[in-house]
């Protein structure tokens, strides 16, 4: 009888030890998840990296949406200047900061990555100002946003093929160029709309059908009228396989992230091919250019099946020479 009791207690002890180990691992795991959700330290990006980069007033603004819910502001040489938003900021957290743009005063417009389909405006320090009023009551699926020289905000809805405008000083959205049909665009976290110094609109045109991709760029005037298109599906110079983003330099040259071909191409303001910029890229998803012609490229790099994708922001000179990496202490 005594032996049975001893065996019983040994058995119960083993069970208790196993339960204790399991609870410890469980608690430890959830502490890790909570710590991860609180975000990376300032100047760093979450595992999945940034998704969109904007150059404004010689500063670099980068969205850092995954778990961090913030925009990070850097100098041109990669020095962190400010954290805008963050995990504890409910206004930013609710938006997920997928698409954003900045006006000449530093005010920030952020499109919600949610079913609400709203756009909020913040000041340069990230203080919430107001939500833009949608007087049409139509659902707006934002595929691109940009401001012109007068700080009018243009909003592209690639799903409905409509353009919307918020005039400077106003807080409501109106349809722009109602008689025009704008290009079909997929919803993506990149700049599919850009505006040059003459307030012409540049838009990606990726019409996705069953077995056909219409990869090209449209250029329209400030009234929305079509001026020209350039590009086609393919791998040759001036051709694209999925135009993921557009940027424009001070000379109105047009830079196109040709994601399917793993490259960036440069065109003049007439849409004439100039060059393929020589740089090693995997899948460029967004681009920006500063006043000196330096390029800022968000590239999605495939590491392996276990690690998945690593997204990084790098700076190159106009010839494509690597200069530095944002969010890293190393320049490798």
Could you report the per-residue pLDDT of 78-126, keeping only the tens digit for each?
A: 999 999 988 777 777 666 667 899 999 999 999 876 556 789 999 998 8
Instruction: Show the beta-strand stretches assigned E in 148-249.
Output: 153-157, 162-166, 172-176, 193-195, 201-208, 213-220, 226-230, 243-248
Helix, strand, coil in percent for the chain, rounding step 5: 15, 40, 45
Residue pair 243/217 in contact by the 8 Å Cβ criterion: yes
Measured in degrees and rounded to the nearest 5, phi and psi for residue 294 equal -70, 145
Report how far residue 106's alpha carbon sits from residue 84's, in angstroms, rounded to the nearest whole number: 12
Mean confidence (pLDDT) of the chain: 81
Q: For the chain, which residues make up each domain, given as ranges? A: 46-326
Please state, in angstroms and as integers, the Cα–Cα distance from residue 25 to each residue in 18, 21, 22, following that order: 11, 6, 5
Q: What is the pLDDT of residues 48-84, one digit of tens each?
A: 778 889 999 999 999 887 778 889 999 999 999 999 9
* Token pair recorded at residue 171: 């807080």
Q: Higher confidence at residue 94 or residue 318?
A: 318
The pTM score is 0.82
Over residues 282-290, mean pLDDT: 92
pLDDT at residue 114, rounded to an integer: 58
pLDDT of residue 195: 93
Residues contacting 179, CB < 8 A, separation 6+: none
Digit-coded pLDDT (tens) for 173-213: 999 998 888 877 765 656 788 999 999 998 887 654 333 36
- Name the fold adopted by 46-326: Neuraminidase (2.120.10)
Tokens representing residue 70 in the block: 């913030």
Would you give the end-to-end CA distance of the chain in angstroms?
70
Residue 24, pLDDT above cutoff 50: no
């Amino acid at each position: 009888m005594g032996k049975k009791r001893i065996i019983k207690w040994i058995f119960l002890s083993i069970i208790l030890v196993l339960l204790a180990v399991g609870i410890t691992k469980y608690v430890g795991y959830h502490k890790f998840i909570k710590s991860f959700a609180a975000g990376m330290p300032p100047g760093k990006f979450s595992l999945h990296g940034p998704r969109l980069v904007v150059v404004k007033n010689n500063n670099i603004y980068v969205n850092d949406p995954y778990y961090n819910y913030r925009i990070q502001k850097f100098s041109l040489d990669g020095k962190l200047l400010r954290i805008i938003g963050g995990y504890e900021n409910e206004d930013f957290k609710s938006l997920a900061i997928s698409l954003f743009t900045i006006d000449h005063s530093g005010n920030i417009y952020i499109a919600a990555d949610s079913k609400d389909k709203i756009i909020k405006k913040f000041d340069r320090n990230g203080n919430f100002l107001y939500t833009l009023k949608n007087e049409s009551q139509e659902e707006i699926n934002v595929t691109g946003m940009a401001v012109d020289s007068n700080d009018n905000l243009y909003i592209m809805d690639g799903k409905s093929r409509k353009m919307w405008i918020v005039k400077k000083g106003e807080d409501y959205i109106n349809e722009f160029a109602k008689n025009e049909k704008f290009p079909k665009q997929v919803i993506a976290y990149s700049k599919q709309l850009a505006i040059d110094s003459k307030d012409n609109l540049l838009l990606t045109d990726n019409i996705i059908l069953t077995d056909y991709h219409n990869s090209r760029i449209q250029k329209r005037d400030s009234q929305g009228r079509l001026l020209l298109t350039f590009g086609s599906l393919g791998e040759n110079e001036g051709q694209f396989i999925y135009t993921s983003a557009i940027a424009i330099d001070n000379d109105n040259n047009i830079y196109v992230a040709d994601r399917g071909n793993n490259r960036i191409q440069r065109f003049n303001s007439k849409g004439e091919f100039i060059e393929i910029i020589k740089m090693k890229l995997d899948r460029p998803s967004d681009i920006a250019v500063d006043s000196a012609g330096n390029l800022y490229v968000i590239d999605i790099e495939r590491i392996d099946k276990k690690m998945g994708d690593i997204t990084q922001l790098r700076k190159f000179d106009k010839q494509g020479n690597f200069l530095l990496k944002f969010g890293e202490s190393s320049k490798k």
